[in-house]
Structure 1
């Protein structure tokens, strides 16, 4: 196996847009799929936050993870 770092070749070169090979429609479709996946993950994290939500008491409906402010801000 060739170590691309030692040869000076970049690992992402095969993934770059090639005007003579790639069609703009295909690139647009790939970007739409990636944007949809990112939006889905973001929406899911907002609807169902990690750690769940408090079920009863004064904090009912708030994210349990929000109780630890440092960890919540990292999230």
Structure 2
């Protein structure tokens, strides 16, 4: 196989893996919140659990304005 084809396949595979990991993380968050609601009747303990990390673009915008 040509180098460019292999590189393209690897990049596509990496994007698919990152998308799948992100979906699984969201699923875990949602299921954890559902479990907490079933156990306690409310969603107070895990309030900060639904936070998400900032992207490199967001970080760049924050640091550039400082």
* TM-score normalized with structure 2 length: 0.50
User: How far does residue 48 in structure 1 lie from its aligned partner after superposition?
Assistant: 1.3
* TM-score normalized with structure 1 length: 0.45
User: Structure 1: 5+ residue runs without aligned partners?
Assistant: 1-21
Partner of 1:14: none
Partner of 2:27: 47
Q: Deviations over 1:13-53 (max 9, x none)?
A: xxxxxxxxx62111100001111110011000111128822
Matches within 5 A, 1:46-65: 46-49=26-29, 52-53=32-33, 54-56=36-38, 57-59=41-43
Q: Mark the structure with the bigger radius of gyration.
A: 1
CA–CA separation in structure 1 for the residues paired with 2:24 and 2:12: 18
Which structure has more relative contact order (CA 8 Å, sep 6+)? It is 2
Q: CA RMSD in A?
A: 3.2
User: Structure 2: 5+ residue runs without aligned partners?
Assistant: 54-66
